[in-house]
A and B are shown apart, each in its own frame.
Chain A
């Protein structure tokens, strides 16, 4: 997808003016956070499971080469094939050639963030293979020709009337000429239309939440069952997954599954957790005849051994965005690339470059809520600071900001000069603001005062007052140039 992260401020401005979005985000915030809290409270071992989940992924990343080779070997033993792709382009081309090998005209698709990352849909379309998104949210945004705005609720920004309009427009050709307005009827309509698509598709493409090294299994976790119909009915099942999705054993999988749904939707367990291991076996009555795993690197291997390695623990549950005050305000599209919210702010600069992505790790109050809910205990604020350091170091941070911090720090390192300067500044502000108690607008602070008032300072600095009242030296009154100026 096209990167618009560099326009974060403009994107955010637009989002803040969108009342539909505001309503949708308000719902999301309360829905997911309340559900998560309930689910966590119902499982006393939750915090210890988070620790264990983190440790499992750390073990994986410390031996990722070993586990990937084992995974490949197991997939092969089960009659499948693993394709190693360094770049999105390689991954797209691999998938296309697999589709062509079975003369595919259409392929159904389960929800996959990696497919978004490699921009698979437009590529397949351009090359004569029609991709059909089957996750209801993905289907909605495919009709709307929009990118997902949330990693587990891609269409969470869409309102019911918007979906009703989209369905009316796109389902006419299936003879659906009545505008449905109830969610149940809309879901039913999509179910009916997509059912035929599953039956007709030549290839089913899914993502993977996990890859199990022990067995060569790929795992998807869904509530709709779309991923299952996608993979069990066509001739070929293609799994597209990034290399860090590995977990060693089925026991490790069990542990991480216990934190996934609870963190994501606040369910105890998602409706469908599916392990797919190889192609249809000789005596099986159903299932795809061919099974391929397209493994994507796209720079992840370079993150191993760096400050960014911890991001590779992410299981894409969305808890960080569900709890993020910035995401709640601006929604997912404002971030301007595939991964929104805190995980996107930490991850996107790696994929799109720091120059384009510099706003994302900066547009955070560093409140730490994301880290506090992350099931894998990824220190997201620490990663934001890592990017901020790097942007400052590489002079990507705009000059006025760098210069401003420089001047401020110069004073902060010289306490006596700092006091003189602050005495002057606060004296003026205090006198100007005393009567109203606040400023409704203030030059140089418009970023603050456009949306809220700035309370006026009390007018004297603590250090001056302390010197006056408790200091061993005499009060600095006579030496205060502003006293003279104003009195």
Chain B
């Protein structure tokens, strides 16, 4: 008997039945095919979109994330350049080959040197375009794919996210709805990354230190694009 059959057999013996069949199975299949939402906290879900954006900024701030609001994509390179200058950081940027970032007029800011693609160990600044921002906890959500390599968001010491305000959603469930929509009919993205603030650890005497293994700092450029 294979390990698989043994394990399944023991579970079934414990439950006092054979393989699940009939109405019970149909009910579970239906749930998996069309997953119902459980209780979603009112904190963000009960707000209108403008307030969700405000909450997103507030919650991000609480986890050491700086948010800069800009009017449109044209203002993105300037905002990034200002941030890097203010923190005295290198201006060599690795950006994801994301359509949103393709629309940013990088060439207007020659001080920024831009490379596109996955990140390598030596990259200092990574710029990514998340699928959504979650107001509930100030969280960014990325779905990996050809336009969004996960390394960009993890390897560089500085992580910058360019997020449109209209992509701020209330809850994690809203992110999953977007991921399902995006991957409908095809595979699920290899990774979905929820990122809430810069990397941290408290493993030495419970002292909080930012930048354990992932990025030491996280900056969000929030693009209003007609909203807000």
Contact = CB atoms under 8 A, between A and B. Distances in A.
A–B touch (CB < 8 A): the answer is yes
A318 interface: no
B201 to A, nearest CB: 5
B100 to A, nearest CB: 17
Interface string B170-189: 01110010011000000111
A183 B205 contact: yes
Interface stretch (A131-139, A409-417, A477-485): A131-139
B113 interface: no
A224 B192 contact: no
B214 A66 contact: no
Contacts of A79: 187
B37 A251 contact: yes
B194 A274 contact: yes
A273 interface: yes
A107 interface: no
Interface of A: 24, 27-28, 31, 43-45, 48-49, 52, 56, 62-70, 72, 77-79, 83-86, 90, 134-137, 140, 153-156, 158-160, 163, 183-184, 186-188, 190-191, 194-195, 198-199, 213-217, 223-226, 228-229, 232-233, 243, 248-252, 254-255, 257-258, 265, 268-281, 283-287, 295, 297, 301-306, 309
B212 interface: yes
A304 B211 CA distance: 42
Contact of A277 (B16, B189, B201): B189
A134 B154 CA distance: 14
A232 B19 contact: no
A136 B214 contact: no
Contact of B20 (A65, A158, A160, A229): A65
Nearest to B149: A285
A52 B213 contact: no
Given A28-B206, A187-B201, A248-B35, A277 B188 contact: yes
A137 to B, nearest CB: 4
Contact of B213 (A194, A214, A216): A194
Contacts of B31: 248-249
A24 B35 CA distance: 44
Contact of B207 (A135, A153, A183, A252): A183
Contact of B206 (A70, A156, A163, A257): A156
A217 B190 CA distance: 9
Contact of A278 (B24, B136, B154, B188): B188
Given A27-B206, A45-B42, A277-B189, A136 B149 contact: no
Contacts of A163: 204
B15 A305 contact: yes
B7 A277 contact: no
B59 to A, nearest CB: 7
Contacts of A44: 41-42
Contacts of B201: 136-137, 187, 223-224
Given A160-B204, A229-B155, A303-B14, A251 B173 contact: yes
B145 A43 contact: no
Contact of A229 (B8, B15, B149, B213): B213
A70 B144 contact: no
B144 A84 contact: no
Interface residues of B, number: 81
Contact of A136 (B20, B40, B172, B212): B212
A450 B67 CA distance: 59
B191 interface: yes
B47 interface: no
Interface in B1-32: 2-4, 6-8, 10-16, 19-20, 24-25, 28, 31-32
B77 interface: no
Given A283-B146, A297-B7, A229 B214 contact: yes
Contacts of A158: 204-205
A248 to B, nearest CB: 6
B193 A215 contact: no
B4 A301 contact: no
B99 interface: no
Given A228-B191, A269-B137, A281-B187, 20 more contacts: A27-B206, A45-B42, A65-B8, A86-B6, A153-B203, A154-B203, A187-B212, A191-B213, A194-B213, A216-B188, A223-B200, A225-B199, A232-B154, A269-B139, A272-B193, A275-B193, A283-B145, A297-B3, A297-B6, A302-B10
Contact of B212 (A28, A66, A155, A191): A191
A72 B2 CA distance: 15
A66 B25 contact: yes
Contacts of B199: 223-225, 271-272
B194 A269 contact: yes
A243 B10 CA distance: 12
B212 A65 contact: no
A271 B150 contact: no
